[in-house]
């Protein structure tokens, strides 16, 4: 098992040599809504938009000669985020075999789906409930959010719920929120087990700042962000520094923008930065009992 740093070094080397790196396919908005549920989907929008806004404000406050270095740092930071072991679709054969091998410490040649089910049916009721499903996919979560790293608990819990939802979508044929042995063993021919899972952490892209350090470009980008965040006085103040009180747009001129999706990325006129449209912020949901799981001893 290679550490994250090895993958990062390889990818940075490929980038330096001009070798193209094929990005993971990102899930559609429709798929994300289905996997996350409405509350988590709206909270994800809020987090992604808030993160990007913080980057823009920092960039606006910088001097032109400082911005290029910051753009490079951002690019490297976002590159690091995607450096983790391959994450498999929850409930797919590669994912289950990995649990059998790495968690249950069994030989690949002896893999038995029915035995795997029994090992993870901790209360012996012939079903996998939400807690037992969490234990089954914990290994995939650890690849993205190691337990010894702090600061990403909201996304970690959200990813756990998303993975559990995807596994139930695949296996829970009678939609009772549990997986029976018969459902666990049933053929799953409609799924492509070669597809990798794209974590939520990988959905955010770095702002297109590189080699675009002049005040005019930054001001245009900041104006777009202010239209999406009209109450952000810190960003407005930064724009005043760049351009005085003139040129600040009236955020009410296109109120329909606030209803568009964060994932609807539209290029600005003249090839400028992409415009993103997050929906209204939703209140974060209180953590449920099944959001986190301690591995069984």
Q: What is the pLDDT of residues 184-221, one digit of tens each?
A: 998 654 555 556 888 887 776 666 665 555 566 666 66
Q: State yes or no: pLDDT of 224 exceeds 80.
A: no
Closest CA to 60 of 199, 253, 226, 177: 226
71 and 60 Cβ atoms separated by less than 8 Å: no
pTM, two decimal places: 0.62
Query: Is residue 225 very low, low, confident or very high in pLDDT (cuts 50, 70, 90)?
Result: low
For the chain, which residues make up each domain, given as ranges?
26-33+51-80+206-275, 93-196
Query: In percent, how much of the chain has pLDDT > 70?
Result: 57
How far, in whole angstroms, is CA 297 from its chain's centroid? 29
Would you call 127 helix, strand, or coil by DSSP? strand
Residue that wins the pLDDT comparison between 22 and 199: 199
How far, in whole angstroms, is CA 208 from its chain's centroid? 19
At 25, list the tokens: 């396919």
Average pLDDT over the chain reads: 71
At 228, list the tokens: 């999406």
Q: Give the CATH number of domain 93-196; options: 3.60.20.10, 3.40.50.2300, 1.10.238.10, 1.10.287.130.
A: 1.10.238.10
Residue 62: the pLDDT is: 80
Residue 105: the pLDDT is: 94
Q: Where is 54: in which H helix or E strand?
A: helix 38-61
Model pLDDT for residues 128-141, shown as the tens digit of each residue: 999 999 999 999 99
Q: Which residue has the tokens 């234990």?
A: 135
Model pLDDT for residues 51-76, shown as the tens digit of each residue: 777 777 787 778 877 888 888 888 88
- Which letter does DSSP use for residue 255 in this model? G
Alpha-carbon radius of gyration of the chain: 22
Residues in Cβ contact with 285 at an 8 Å cutoff, skipping those fewer than 6 apart: 39, 40, 43
Q: State yes or no: pLDDT of 295 exceeds 60.
A: no
How buried is residue 74: exposed, middle or buried, by Cβ count under 10 Å (0-12/13-18/19+)?
middle
Q: State yes or no: pLDDT of 143 exceeds 70.
A: yes
């Amino acid at each position: 098992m290679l550490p994250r740093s090895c993958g990062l070094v390889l990818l940075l080397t490929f980038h330096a040599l001009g070798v193209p790196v094929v990005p993971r396919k990102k899930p559609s908005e429709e798929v994300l809504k289905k996997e996350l549920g409405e509350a988590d989907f709206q909270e994800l929008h809020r987090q992604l938009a808030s993160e990007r806004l913080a980057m823009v404000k920092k960039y606006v406050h910088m001097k032109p000669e400082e911005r290029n270095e910051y753009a490079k740092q951002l690019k490297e930071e976002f590159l690091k985020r995607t450096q983790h072991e391959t994450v498999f679709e929850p409930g797919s054969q590669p994912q289950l075999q990995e649990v059998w091998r790495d968690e249950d410490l069994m030989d690949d040649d002896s893999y038995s789906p029915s035995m795997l089910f029994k090992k993870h049916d901790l209360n012996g009721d012939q079903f996998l409930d939400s807690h037992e499903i969490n234990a089954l996919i914990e290994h995939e979560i650890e690849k993205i959010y190691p337990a010894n790293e702090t600061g990403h608990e909201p996304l970690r819990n959200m990813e756990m719920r998303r993975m559990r939802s995807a596994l139930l979508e695949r296996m829970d044929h009678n939609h009772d929120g549990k997986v029976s042995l018969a459902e666990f063993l049933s053929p799953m021919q409609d799924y492509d087990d070669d597809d990798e899972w794209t974590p939520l952490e990988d959905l955010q892209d770095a702002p297109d700042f590189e080699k675009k350090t002049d005040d005019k470009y930054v001001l245009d980008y900041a104006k777009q962000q202010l239209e999406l965040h009209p109450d952000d006085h810190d960003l407005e103040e930064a724009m005043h520094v760049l351009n005085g009180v003139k040129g600040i747009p009236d955020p009410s001129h296109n109120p329909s923008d606030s209803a568009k999706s964060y994932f609807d990325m539209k290029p600005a006129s003249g090839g400028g930065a992409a415009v993103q449209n997050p929906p209204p912020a939703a209140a974060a949901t209180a953590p449920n009992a099944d959001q986190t799981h301690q591995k069984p001893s």
